[in-house]
Chain A
Amino acid sequence: MAPTSKRGSAKKPGLLEEAPEALLQAVIIADSFNRRFRPLTLEKPRCLLPLANTPIIEYTLEFLALGGVEEVLLYCHAHHDQITDYIRESKWSKESSPFQIRVIYSPSIMSVGDVMRELDQSRLIKEDFILVSGDIVSNISLQGILKEHKARRLADKSCIMTSVLREISPRHGSRPRGENALFILDQNRERILHYEYLKQSDSESPVLLPRELGKTCPTMSFQENFLDCCIDIVSFEVPPLFTENFDWQHSRKDFLHGILMDELYGKTVYAHILKSGYAGRIQSLQTYDAILHDITRKWTHPFCPDTNLNQQTYKYTRGHIYKESKVILAQSAVIKDNSIIGAGTSVGDKTVIAGATIGRNCTIGKNVELHSTVLWDNVVIGDNCALGNCIVANDAHIGDGCTIEDGAVISFGVTIEKGSNIPATAKYTKISTKKEKESGRFTQVVHSKTKTLNEYEDSEDDEDEQRETSMGGLSVLEDESDYSDISDFEDDEEIPGKRKKGHARTSSESEADSFFREAYNSLLGALKQSHSVDIMILELNGLRMSANAEFSEVRRATVAAVITYIVSKITGNENTTKVVDATVEKLLPLFNRMIFEVNDQAELLGYVQRELAGKERGGTLMQAIGMKLYNEDLCDDEGLLAWWNEGNGPQGETPEMTKVREGAKAFVKWVEEQDEDSDSDEESEEEDDDDE
């Protein structure tokens, strides 16, 4: 962990020191770990994007200040430098801030789970704390909920979390699409008994519930109509739970689901269902639009534009129109209800602004129509344009006579040629690839829509971007059902040899698993880049020491890597035996360091068998590898027979594994015969080398 900045460590004696109890802490995760706001988030982190012309993080911090929070830990990953700078300059790092704020950057955090594990290691948490993401907009007072939580903790030691939920009707505009979840609550609607994340695509498929559920609670309430605000009051016992379960990434799908599924934990989670007040989370462009809608209409009072959270000068006029001072409006311009206009903006003749949000210093030409459009700062819009419900980011330039449909996103500094027609769900950015971004060379200004779009799609993250584009725009119905929040970890499952486990894991198992993954990856990489075997040994040893792994784990990982390597090598017409021989010979010293006795040999062969199961030419390979190992003295006949006899029964072997075993039958039979011979003759086994 690398705390990039620590401020206010010895500050505010008056406000804080007198409190005898521990400080009320809050943890903000200022990264969403997904790409829903691309391409905007290529240049700015989501929490600094303006919402009603105020950075989103301000709403979250104000909300925490309202809740009486005294210390804030802000974890960030992407664009951490921008976030650090912003917080340093903001009022929250001043002496007068209601809480101490600490920005913590760690390059290793890729999910909520990682943050929790970091938190566990950092030991910054002493008491129950508030866990929110950096994109919450809410005006509820946390004090009551905290009191409730504490009382519950006293009564029920196993209660580890209180989640804030809101009921919402299915067709409500603010309901996040593609984020459906089933909550099962007890009859008082207080305790959460079960949580199930629902993918939209397989809404037909049945939800499997644990059998015990019915026994503990005869009456249950099944509800899908919750808006999960992602405001949790979390016990200090939770971060260690994440450490134990290294594969928990998501606070809901993994943690909440996992903890409730498994009786072994014996933990309970409660829900606080909001009766009044506003709470929402900006999860996607659609929710961004919905929450902006609510802010403009004063649902989030007092956090509305005219509260001027960020040193603005907004004034409220009837019909939810907010104007800053120094707005220049043409006489014939029409401002309709629910509009926000920032300072320094000028609006041309006959322009209609209907429910639009306009940032500072924008120039809007004549005869323009803005319907629910979101313009950020310094946007220039030419004459005779028509913009729908789209986002136009800072410094963008829209030429005369353009039409932009609902759901389009124009990112920072993009210029749209005059007369263009931007279709719904199109997204434009100046930044086309990461490389170019790093070298400071930006793709040139767009001349036609097709060109940019192509450039954008040609970028490195081709797949991601395309998926992004298909995600649709603000209020356009989104279908992101197959979209996983944590794309970085998706490929975990492809690792061969990873055992599918139940939900109960002991801590050693999970460590072993993580060791396996790392060892496997490093070995495979080394093999492919044909590093010398000494380097491999060194690396593997280091990993083994740090993870305190057993040799059996080392063998498993090594075998998995070697088999993958060999299999990838022999796809062509190459001689199987040759490849195997070459590889094993190269790795001799490595194998020598992990095989000590007969059982090890048997185990190694067992792993080989398992890895080869289902592979093409698995039987042939099994025989080739077995023979090579035998010839190189890595395994003697005792070990070979031990493996052969161990798995002889049907138990523990899939048909595929049996098939692999059958491939080695001839060889084993031969060894068996040799063995019998040598038993009688007491001959040395050296001779066998010649007979292949």
Chain B
Amino acid sequence: MVVADENPPALAKFLKAVTTVKADDATEILIGLLKRREIKSSRNVAKATTKLLLRFVSQNRHTKLSESQGLIKDVRELGRNLVSAQPRELVIGNIVRRVLGVIREECHDNNSIPGFADLPLGGRLSRASSVGDESADLGSNPGSGTATPHSGRPFSRDGGEEDIDAMSRRKSKAYIPPNLRNLTRQGSIALPNPSFGENNLQHALFSLLQSRPEELPNDSPGLKPQSKEPFEDKDIRGDVIEGIKELMEELEQVDEQVASHSETHIHANEIVMVLGSSATLQAFLMRAAIKRRFTVVMIEAYPNDYQATQEILKAPSKFTTPIGLKQPGKNSSARDEPLTTAELKATLTSIGVETILIPDSAVPAVMSRVNKVLMGTHVILRNGSMITTAGARTVARCAQEHSIPVVVVSGVYKLSPLYPFDPDSMLETGESSTVIGWADSEMVGNAEISNPTMDFVPGELVDHYITNVGGYTPQNLYKLVEEQYGTVIDTLE
């Protein structure tokens, strides 16, 4: 396994270009790369997207708090363009939504610091429960987002003020009652309402109205902000960039964080069946191998991983450059293509894990001897199902038949808030030539050949997801979605 200096060529090229050209051009470049499928693994796509968003936000003209709606709109537009370039790479949408979340959070934080957070609002607003009490809040508002996975709030997709509003609810730092919220949205807030006469409350209202300052009666002395810097002029760019950088760090650390759970899942002398060969999976197994002795049964995954697997069997020495255990995650970033099964096997063998390679057809036969099935994934969907390497569904179904637990390791950035209404449309169909040689005229003219590279695995077939933020069952995954994206799910597709 050759470890390149830093990044794979296509990604490296892009990361280099993105710092020198305008953000719009960088977007076009990335769209080109995505369309040509030059950036291959979803980790690298995520990295490129984050980097582009960083550049985009730092160059966007909307920097002020008051213009945050414009920024959100621009980012959403960018996200739509990127998603349409490769609609089946759901990670792009995930990253864009995460960044949108960061922006909303910043808006909210800045609003709340002078406006809400330090104010004893609770007693004054008629229907409000105490500040910071999210449970009370949720309890008092049915349909506020946590109840069912696919019950969005009716107004959650409109953008506009309620984005901030919803964010503030989620963060539970402040709470605005629904009636006031509605008024705000309609743009006809009743300022002269006698019960809102007090100065500090005017602050609260002021921050609510920040996105339309022209409606504020400027001559009213009580509405003038107290601090020296007006809120709407506050520059949120730095904070948003900070948030995006955190996201980038997360991407770098994912493997290590996931791997830290390995010891609790892989036990001594277990036989683990492994399908697919993501970097996360490799780090996970290698970490486990430090303390435990176990056997790995690898599935060959014809046809997309098949050739590399054959090669390793013929010339194993070519692949057995050992990789330092100290840096399990590092290796992954250095590759353009996802790891192949053969490479994973070679790596594991090099650190002394007993590895057995079986053809796909042998899975049902071997399943009864296996303690656990371990998989990587391409994307996890909000209802607990996932999209992963072709063949996974058969394996998972077989495991279910034998009551063998199926465990999936993945970074949380692969968790998509989308619901699979039409799973077929989420599956990528790859080159037909990997199934059968194009020169084979007998077949090419007469058989219809299709090579779906992905498989849809429903949540019922998965027992456990291990992410960098902990373990979840498919049934509880919606909570994680809520945590990561809030209740505002932007439509990017």
Contacts and interface: CB of A to CB of B under 8 A. Distances in A.
A509 interface: no
A278 interface: yes
B25 A337 contact: no
Contacts of A308: 35, 84-85
B440 A169 contact: yes
Interface in A134-190: 139, 143, 166-174
B425 A317 contact: yes
Contact of A298 (B22, B85, B430): B430
Nearest to A227: B439
Interface stretch (B69-77, B128-136, B411-419, B445-453): B445-453
B16 interface: yes
Nearest to A14: B20
A91 B28 contact: yes
Nearest to B38: A66
A227 to B, nearest CB: 9
B439 A169 contact: yes
B19 interface: yes
A309 B85 CA distance: 9
Interface in B27-51: 27-29, 32, 35-38
A441 B448 CA distance: 47
Interface string B92-128: 0000000000000000000000000000000000000
Interface string A292-333: 001001110110000111000101111110000000000000
B446 to A, nearest CB: 10
A276 B433 contact: yes
A302 B21 contact: no
B475 interface: no
A335 to B, nearest CB: 15
Given A66-B38, A91-B28, A298-B450, A14 B433 contact: no
Contacts of A252: none
A14 B16 contact: yes
Contact of B21 (A14, A68, A297, A317): A14
A22 to B, nearest CB: 17
Contact of B22 (A95, A170, A317): A95
A172 B441 contact: yes
Interface in A1-53: 12-15, 18
Nearest to A66: B36
A650 B179 CA distance: 118
Contact of B424 (A143, A299, A317): A317
A94 B439 contact: no
B316 to A, nearest CB: 21
A298 B449 CA distance: 9
Interface string A402-445: 00000000000000000000000000000000000000000000
A294 B441 CA distance: 12
Contact of A95 (B25, B32, B432, B444): B25
A228 interface: no
B36 A65 contact: yes
A599 B53 CA distance: 83
Given A65-B32, A65-B36, A301 B429 contact: yes
A378 B168 CA distance: 52
Given A65-B36, A96-B26, A308-B84, A298 B20 contact: no
A98 interface: yes
A276 B430 CA distance: 13
Contact of A299 (B13, B27, B438): B438
A169 B441 contact: yes
Contacts of A301: 37, 429-432
A66 B29 CA distance: 12
A302 B35 contact: yes
A95 B21 contact: yes
Contact of B448 (A13, A14, A66, A320): A320
Interface residues of A, number: 46
A62 interface: yes
A277 interface: yes
Contacts of B451: 298
Contacts of B29: 96, 98
Contacts of A15: 13, 17, 20-21
A538 to B, nearest CB: 56
Contact of A167 (B20, B25, B38, B439): B439
A547 B226 CA distance: 89
Contact of A318 (B13, B16, B424, B441): B424
Given A15-B21, A167-B439, A308-B35, A299 B432 contact: yes
Contacts of B21: 12, 14-15, 95-96
Residue among B13, B28, B35, B36 having the largest count of chain A Cβ atoms under 10 Å: B36
A174 B17 CA distance: 39
Given A14-B20, A308-B84, A297 B441 contact: no
A94 B431 contact: no
B432 A309 contact: no
B429 A14 contact: no
Contacts of A66: 36, 38
B424 A96 contact: no
Contacts of B20: 13-15
Nearest to B24: A96
Given A14-B16, A91-B28, A173-B445, A298 B37 contact: no
Nearest to B18: A14
B433 A278 contact: yes
Contacts of A167: 439
Contacts of B37: 301-302
Nearest to A297: B432
B431 A299 contact: yes
A172 B25 contact: no
A172 B448 contact: no
A94 B37 CA distance: 20
A297 B439 contact: no
B284 to A, nearest CB: 30
Contact of B439 (A91, A95, A166, A294): A166
A307 B38 contact: no
A139 B431 contact: yes
Contacts of B13: 15
A223 to B, nearest CB: 13
Contacts of B425: 315-317
B439 A172 contact: yes
Contact of B32 (A98, A166, A320): A98
Contacts of B430: 298, 301
Residue among B16, B21, B451 having the largest count of chain A Cβ atoms under 10 Å: B21
Contacts of B449: 297
Nearest to A311: B84
16 contacts: A15-B13, A62-B35, A66-B38, A95-B21, A95-B25, A143-B9, A166-B439, A167-B439, A169-B439, A169-B441, A170-B441, A277-B433, A298-B431, A301-B429, A302-B36, A318-B450
9 nearest A-B residue pairs (beta carbon): A14-B20, A96-B28, A172-B441, A96-B25, A301-B431, A302-B37, A169-B441, A95-B25, A298-B432
Given A14-B16, A168-B441, A171-B441, 12 more contacts: A18-B16, A62-B35, A94-B28, A95-B28, A143-B9, A166-B438, A172-B444, A173-B445, A302-B37, A315-B425, A320-B448, A320-B450
